Structure 1
């Protein structure tokens, strides 16, 4: 067997609510499939969640266990992947503070992901400083574990680019490679729209289907999905492009040939929206049902989940603290 070290993955989520199908398609499937071939760190970013929830910090703590339950239920194995809590690793905060000296406010404001999020949240010029500085914090998270691969949606790719800019500045300043650059791993399915078809699937927008959704909730969400407004009668030819039901079938239906046949049928006419929605409902219920059941079983012992996070966080902090000292020494900083 090869003695080469496994590539390192850093990924994670903010604990602002249970995870949903957008997370599942966007990164959870990749995390599950890659955890045995890579060294994977999965971060519950509770500190980052404060950047736009400072007025309601009590929302965050209860969702830490909820997100951890979702991780475990979809198949992330804590014996293979390291699951850790951002606030339990103080080295990340110090590394963030160091990195903020290697990026300008103007560059942070130009980041397309940050610009879009600021507009979506209606901050105007009242942008929380922590929110604006998120790219530096993410750079700290990624480089603390010397990750070279980060599973993200396409809309998050500019954050990885900015991480690499900071990495290059740090390495130039030290005149050697202290931390590596990372590559964004973008899923083929792309950005999953919300059930309303108007934006990405988001907890805050209320258009998400949680991984813990009941069969009834799944059916209700699918019934409300946007299809083709010009497809008034089943006999009418319909548009597949922009049709949310087909987007979800492309993402989750394992029978690719059947989906291709449905698209052809829909385009020529003779296939009603209700038949499509019934198929998608069955597909999602079959996929989410086992996840929901595993999640409910795990939730019966939340203390074990918390212990798992404590163990992972101790392991993560040891690694992050080592990277922090390497960066400090490389920059000529010494502790008293």
Structure 2
């Protein structure tokens, strides 16, 4: 797969935690819905990752998988536009993870920021396991097995993508130099023509001698524009710019998602563990009850007391759902006691129910046809495996594991 094609492929996954809530929708799913129209998208259920922290309680995983996939479809993920699959149904993930573990320095895994953070936050679990230590490498295998060039992540997850880039770079350095590599790369340079070859060499020299990142990007663009070199030569030229070998595993880029801290009913981030969530497919009556009984500004005891929206969890929901005119109405009405808390909550109730309406409609179709959900996943698994097998064959050939 060429580096250009790689940049058009997106890979993202989610642990199966059961039915999703509006925090998942605003934080991840809305972005997936947009991406599926512009990129070749692979979205997967990370059930192997679920076992890294829930290996003692695996029986909840299966139902959680189907509930979550139904939520994806209800949110607007289109199986005709994106490939949906379950991680463990594509064994190439695990095999690439094993092969990459042979060349990944132990210190890289121990330095991943979330490794110590999760050990601290999940003290009740025994996480002194190889699987937990190795889960960042499995994440890298998830990305690299599809040669995905773009990985949608929040700012706190960039370190995972950076480590994946390091692993791809190390792999290409170790295994990308087939016999006669430099001679082949030099021959490929000649095919670009005398003038272009001279520019390529100058850019390569600037990068290798001065670490000039701008020169590196310009050289890459130059290679992409070449029409008279083969795909194999193009990949050699990409690797040769950096003094490395042929690019077997393209380095992915983090695709920063818009920060969407969806507030829960208590003002904290919406989370199952906080018990402050509104389910993606929650019944309308329950949604109304939850919002109507939300805590408001604790200083506003009586209807006639002026309030401060900045101290009220309901205001945080207005920040997500309301336009400028409604926000102005809330700020002025609350501070002057011109509106009551129930008045303030009504636009939020209306907005959430309106948002959920098409989700409920799509979900009903899949709830009534559970076999359709399973067939979508089966088809996605087949597509994912075809792609993953091609990458794994190339990796094994580079590592000397392709026997004839």
Note whether the superposition's TM-score is higher than 0.5. Answer: yes
How do 1:7-18 residues align onto structure 2 when only pairs under 5 Å count? Answer: 7-18=8-19
Matched position secondary structure for 1:33: helix
Task: Name which of 258, 261, 265 aligns with 1:195.
Answer: 265
User: What's the CA shift for 1:75?
Assistant: 1.0
CA pair 296-186 structure 1, distance change in 2 beyond 3 A: same
User: What's the CA shift for 1:117?
Assistant: 2.8
Q: Which has the larger radius of gyration?
A: 2
1:238 has 2:305 as partner? no
Matched position secondary structure for 1:201: coil
Aligned twin of 2:56? 55
User: What's the CA shift for 1:66?
Assistant: 1.2
1:140 has 2:128 as partner? no
CA pair 162-193 structure 1, distance change in 2 beyond 3 A: farther
How do 1:51-200 residues align onto structure 2 when only pairs under 5 Å count? Answer: 51-123=52-124, 126-174=127-175, 175-198=245-268, 200=269
Conservation of the 8 A alpha-carbon contact between 1:153 and 1:191? no
Conservation of the 8 A alpha-carbon contact between 1:153 and 1:190? no
User: What's the CA shift for 1:231?
Assistant: 4.7
Matched position secondary structure for 1:35: helix
> Separation in 1 of the partners of 2:101 and 2:341?
51
1:216 has 2:217 as partner? no
How do 1:209-288 residues align onto structure 2 when only pairs under 5 Å count? Answer: 209-223=278-292, 225=294, 227-232=296-301, 235-240=305-310, 243-251=312-320, 253=321, 255-262=322-329, 264-265=331-332, 268-270=335-337, 271-288=339-356
> Separation in 2 of the partners of 1:92 and 1:291?
31
TM value normalised by structure 1: 0.87
1:30-61 CA distances to partner (integer Å, 9 max, x unpaired)? 11112121100110111211111212211011
RMSD, aligned CA: 2.6
User: What's the CA shift for 1:260?
Assistant: 3.8
Task: Name which of 355, 364, 368 aligns with 1:300.
Answer: 368
Aligned twin of 1:312? 380
> Separation in 2 of the partners of 1:108 and 1:275?
52
Aligned twin of 2:235? none
User: What's the CA shift for 1:90?
Assistant: 0.4
Conservation of the 8 A alpha-carbon contact between 1:238 and 1:269? no
| Consecutive unaligned residues in structure 2, runs of 5 or more | 176-244
> Separation in 2 of the partners of 1:132 and 1:17?
24
Higher helix share: 2
User: What's the CA shift for 1:313?
Assistant: 0.2
CA pair 267-332 structure 1, distance change in 2 beyond 3 A: farther
The total of aligned residue pairs comes to: 329
Conservation of the 8 A alpha-carbon contact between 2:85 and 2:381? yes
CA pair 214-320 structure 1, distance change in 2 beyond 3 A: same
TM value normalised by structure 2: 0.73
1:161-189 CA distances to partner (integer Å, 9 max, x unpaired)? 22222222222223232222223333334
